[in-house]
Amino acid sequence: MDGIIPLYKERGMTSFDCIRRLRNLLKTKKIGHSGTLDPSVDGVLPICVGAATKVVPYLMASGKVYQGELLIGKATETEDLDGAVIETAKVSHAITNTTIQDAMNKLTGQVRQQPPMYSAVKVHGKRLYEYARAGETVERPVRTVQVDSFQLLRTKFDEKTQSQRVTFRVACGKGTYIRTLVVALARQLGFPGTMSSLTRIKSGGFTLEDTLSLDDVQNALASQSLSKLIFPLDAVFSDYPHVVLTTDQWHYMQHGSWFKSSELDTNAETVALVYNNQVKAIYHIDADGQNYKPQTMLRLN
């Protein structure tokens, strides 16, 4: 079986839990996912099966959209509700929508982030959470991530607890830590904060409406209908310029040949080469703008 399953990952499961379950269900080890979700986060987790594992890098590079909640007035060691509280502060009066959105706007575009200690980023061959669990500290790399939009959906001030909750939506590039982003937002507003909820609502072009649960996959296998629900790997390249190959060009492509830009009649940087109604390869133009060269060979038959 080859294709993409836009899986709905439930809270309480790791991304690898999902992979392990699917390997058992589908009787194959050739499965990969396109971006880990923390156990406390639910939402869209595209799963690539068989030959579709070749498109994992493209899915990972595609934009993602999250919706979640920030709790202002409390900080934890993990930047979410899983960790111990390390700081509190009273929010004595409601922070206005305008103030919050203005702070969000300052955290869009290219943003510098330092990954949290409780994360899977590797430093000196060990993941940061391994250092954190051992009570060790280590210098963490600072990275630049892309935040396309950071939007306030609603907010609620709680006078009794003197805290405020902010519901937000973020569209971002790969490697963005939403926990770290919303904690930075709280700091911009002058308070400690922690992410209290998060759902990935879009990834790799797939939305929550496209997703299947693990039970859905199991039931579809039992009724032999999974092939009707799984997406072909071509779906990843629906937004790419498509070039339909002639028979001769197809034969050349099977041998990894380059193509002159004039042969493909396009000026796009990256194109999907199509033959017999299937995306066969992804080609990218060279630095001189003269030749298209193979970037990923997807199907050679």
Among residues 104, 69, 80, 58, the alpha carbon closest in space to that of 203 is found at: 58
Tell me the average pLDDT across 73-81: 95
How would you class 182 by CB atoms within 10 Å of its CB: exposed for 0-12, middle for 13-18, buried for 19 or more?
Answer: buried
The pLDDT assigned to 129 comes to 78
Contact 93, 186 (CB under 8 A): no
* pLDDT of 34 higher than 90: no
pLDDT band at 173 (very low <50, low <70, confident <90, very high): very high
**In 10 A of CB 181, how many CB atoms?**
25
pLDDT band at 135 (very low <50, low <70, confident <90, very high): confident
CA distance 261 to 267: 7
* pLDDT of 127 higher than 90: no
Q: What percent of the chain has pLDDT over 90?
A: 78
The pLDDT assigned to 111 comes to 96
pLDDT band at 208 (very low <50, low <70, confident <90, very high): very high
- Averaged pLDDT score across all residues of the chain: 93
The pLDDT assigned to 159 comes to 96
The pLDDT assigned to 267 comes to 87
| Identity of the highest mean pLDDT range in 27-41, 104-118, 209-223 | 209-223
> How many residues are listed for the chain in this entry?
301
Tell me the average pLDDT across 199-204: 96
The domains of the chain, with CATH numbers, are 3-62+204-235 (3.30.2350.10), 64-200 (3.30.2350.10), 240-297 (2.30.130.10)
CA angle 74, 182, 110 (to 5 degrees): 150
* pLDDT of 33 higher than 90: no
Tell me the average pLDDT across 202-215: 95
pLDDT in tens, 209-264: 999 999 999 999 999 999 899 999 999 998 899 999 999 999 999 999 999 988 99
| 286 flagged as catalytic | no
* Distances 126 to 83, 98, 108, 177, 193 between C-alpha atoms, Å: 20, 42, 30, 19, 27
* pLDDT of 165 higher than 80: yes
The pLDDT assigned to 270 comes to 94
pLDDT band at 190 (very low <50, low <70, confident <90, very high): very high
The pLDDT assigned to 102 comes to 98
pLDDT band at 192 (very low <50, low <70, confident <90, very high): very high
The pLDDT assigned to 139 comes to 81
The pLDDT assigned to 46 comes to 95
- Look up the pTM and report it: 0.90
User: Which one of the listed residues 38, 80, 210, 234 is annotated catalytic?
Assistant: 38
Q: What is the torsional sign of CA 220, 228, 31, 16?
A: negative
